[in-house]
Amino acid sequence: MGATLLIAAGPRAWINQYFLASRPMVALGLISYPLYLWHWILLSYAQIWGPVFVVQRLMLVALSVLLAWLTYLFIEKPLRNNDSVKQKALVLLLGMAIVLACALVFSKNGFEKRPLNQITQFEFSGEDGGNGGFQEDGCGLSDSSLNHFFASCLQDRREPAQFALIGDSHATSLWPGLIRTSVPQYRWLTINGPGGPQNMRPYLSNARQNVSAKDSVYTDKAVEQLIANPNIKVVLLTFSSNSLLPSMADASEYDQAEAYKGLDSVVTKLISNHKKVVLLVDNPHLAAPQDCFHRKVGISVLDNFNQIEPACEMPIDQYLAFTAKYRAVLNKLALAHPNAVYVFDATPYLCSKEEGVCSYQKEGRRMYSYGAHVSDYAAGKVGEPLNQYLTGIVSGK
């Protein structure tokens, strides 16, 4: 629409006659296509490398302009003014050959033994074995019509599960660590749903004051199926703290009451049917993981660049203060249902007590995979003590 208006204004319009016809704008127009190509490459690779801040972005734009001008002078102009079809065809064939070579290398996952792969280990340090090969489809459903109803319905293939995990995407990210660190006779199944139409949620929050149990059909159905499963002794509820209490530190007493009411409606159904319930305190929400580290590329000036978002780390005291009202809701539920509802706080396993911070990394390993979701490694660090805790609840130790 903007281009149409400029054309409709005609060549005598001020913006066309003076601004767009000025020498700097004409020069920019001449290099506009190579500028488009170069800026896309440089900014895209920079984003893959890690967080890029304003100064670095401006430097990349300036470099894009320089490379675009050189491309215009030494490639675009010679090709445009050269009438030799053979030379143009040769350049085109050379370009196609380079693209083919890149495609072949990409299809073989690059050169895996190249030195660069040995110095980029932090990026993959969040992986720690996944589900260990112990996972299979199915989650002990008594109603076969629900086989494809839930977003995720999984179980340990080794033994019938005694523990069940239900929740949203935070349950999804925790699942591999739980099944991988489980012990004989105390295996797991999970019914979970990430954000979207099949999302699992704790019914009510201050952000959804008109939501009632009837609007949380996936959570309802999951609870019904677990109630019908006589093997399940303990149900672990794992929801993002934002889904329970979005206002968090600014929550009013009414907000907390609404959050309590929503989660209690889930808990009451389970404990009234002889299931014990464990509420998992949600992990700290930090900056997006890709804003918290840079890939090593073998170039010292880039490998020594360590600027990251301040929100990649948070003092433990600040985290505890920020989530105090959310934790109060969980603890109130446990007090209201003694010996039936328990609260498990994973903070000691996700944060560093020695350093006094909750961070995107711990002991040199990634603690987050994407967004506010824990990595596979972090899930295992939580899973081991959590499995012991649940085993103690069942065995009475």
Based on the domain organization, do 297 and 263 belong to the same domain? yes
Q: What is the mean pLDDT of the chain?
A: 91
Based on the domain organization, do 247 and 307 belong to the same domain? yes
Q: What is the number of helices (H) and of strands (E) in the chain?
A: 18, 13
The beta-carbon contacts of 40-48 under 8 Å, at least 24 apart in sequence, are 47/290, 48/295
Distance between alpha carbon 177 and the CA centroid of its chain, in Å?
16
Based on the domain organization, do 113 and 198 belong to the same domain? no
Domain of residue 6: give its range: 2-122
Based on the domain organization, do 110 and 171 belong to the same domain? no
Task: State which H helix or E strand residue 376 sits in.
Answer: helix 376-395
In this predicted model, what pLDDT tens digit does every residue of 240-266 receive, in sequence order?
A: 998 889 889 999 998 999 899 889 989
d(CA 21, CA 11): 9
Predicted confidence (pLDDT) at residue 325 exceeds the cutoff of 60:
yes
Q: What is the 3-state secondary structure (H, E, C) of 6-66?
A: HHHHCCCCHHHHHHCCCHHHHHHHHCHHHHHHHHHHHHHHHHHHCCCCHHHHHHHHHHHHH
Most confident range (mean pLDDT) of 24-28, 46-50, 74-78, 146-150 is 24-28
Predicted confidence (pLDDT) at residue 87 exceeds the cutoff of 60:
yes
- Which pair of tokens denotes residue 397? 């130790």
Using the 3D structure, point to which of 122, 146, 166 is the last residue of a domain.
122
Given pLDDT bands bounded at 50, 70 and 90, which one contains residue 124?
A: confident
Based on the domain organization, do 108 and 202 belong to the same domain? no
Based on the domain organization, do 155 and 71 belong to the same domain? no
Based on the domain organization, do 48 and 149 belong to the same domain? no
Using the 3D structure, point to which of 78, 94, 122 is the last residue of a domain.
122
Predicted confidence (pLDDT) at residue 209 exceeds the cutoff of 60:
no
Distance between alpha carbon 99 and the CA centroid of its chain, in Å?
32
Based on the domain organization, do 301 and 332 belong to the same domain? yes
What pLDDT is recorded for position 175? 97
What pLDDT is recorded for position 194? 79
- Please tell me whether the overall predicted TM-score, pTM, comes out greater than 0.85 for this model: no
Based on the domain organization, do 94 and 135 belong to the same domain? no
Predicted confidence (pLDDT) at residue 365 exceeds the cutoff of 80:
yes
CB-based burial, 338-350: b 16+ in 10 Å, e otherwise: eebbbbbebbebb
Q: How many domains does the structure of the chain reveal?
A: 2
CB-based burial, 73-101: b 16+ in 10 Å, e otherwise: eeebeeeeeeeeeeeeeeeeeeeeeeeee
CB-based burial, 173-193: b 16+ in 10 Å, e otherwise: bbbbbbbbbbeeebbbbbbbb
State phi, psi for 189 to the nearest 5 degrees: -135, 160
Mean pLDDT along residues 21-45: 95
Using the 3D structure, point to which of 122, 141, 160 is the last residue of a domain.
122
Based on the domain organization, do 188 and 102 belong to the same domain? no
- 3-class state of residue 286 by DSSP: coil
Q: Cβ contacts of residue 58 below 8 Å, gap of 6+? A: none
Given pLDDT bands bounded at 50, 70 and 90, which one contains residue 133?
A: very high
In this predicted model, what pLDDT tens digit does every residue of 174-189 receive, in sequence order?
A: 999 999 999 999 999 9
Mean pLDDT along residues 30-42: 95
Based on the domain organization, do 138 and 110 belong to the same domain? no
The CATH number of whichever domain residue 212 belongs to comes to: 3.40.50.1110
Based on the domain organization, do 152 and 110 belong to the same domain? no
Tokens 């967004």: give the residue.
371
Mean pLDDT along residues 189-217: 72
